[in-house]
Amino acid sequence: MSNLDKNKEIRKKAIQIEKKINDSIQKLLNREDLVQQTAISSEIYGTVLNQLQQYMELLSIHFNLPTKNDIANTARLVIQVEEKIDRLEEQLLDLKDYIEEMKKNASELPTMNFIMEKKPKETVEIKDTSKRLILSRTLGKEQKVRRTEEGDSI
């Protein structure tokens, strides 16, 4: 017998054994009394589990411990707060961008350039008198106002 024939024989035996095991498991599972016992046991287990959860909640109140529901509610609240913070961050970034754009647009306006630069007052000396003149601009007007340092308008 060659190795190939041995492998085929082993494979056939393995398949037969697997089929027998599956059939026996099916027979055990299809028993009516086993199904009824499992149903009764699962009902009892569910009842005991519910009672245990109720007792744990009562004990947690007395010992000031958080329950599973308390932790779940806290987690939901934390997630909601994180979402609100994210939305606020987005709004702040949008507001910052808007303010920067407004500054840029405002600096391009001719009247805003004059205000933003804060030019120092210009002084001019008159040759025939010892008085000095101060030249300044009034907002919204193109003409220059001339006055002496003493306050006399010219």
Let me know: does 123 contact 132? Beta carbons within 8 Å: yes
Per-residue pLDDT of the chain (154 residues; tens, 9 = 90+): 678 888 889 999 999 999 999 999 888 888 888 888 889 999 999 999 999 988 988 888 888 888 888 899 999 999 999 999 999 999 999 999 999 998 888 777 666 445 555 554 544 444 545 455 445 555 545 445 455 555 555 5
Q: Position of tokens 């599973």?
A: 68
* Alpha carbon distances (Å) from 14 to 8, 20, 71, 121, 133: 10, 10, 51, 106, 116
Residue 96 C-beta-side C-alpha neighbours within 13 Å: 6
H/E/C letters for each residue in 12-61? Answer: HHHHHHHHHHHHHHHHHHCCHHHHHHHHHHHHHHHHHHHHHHHHHHHHHH
Beta-strand pair 132-137/144-148: antiparallel
* Alpha carbon distances (Å) from 56 to 49, 51, 86: 10, 9, 36
- Cα 86–chain centre separation: 4
Let me know: does 123 contact 133? Beta carbons within 8 Å: yes
Q: What is this structure's pTM? A: 0.39
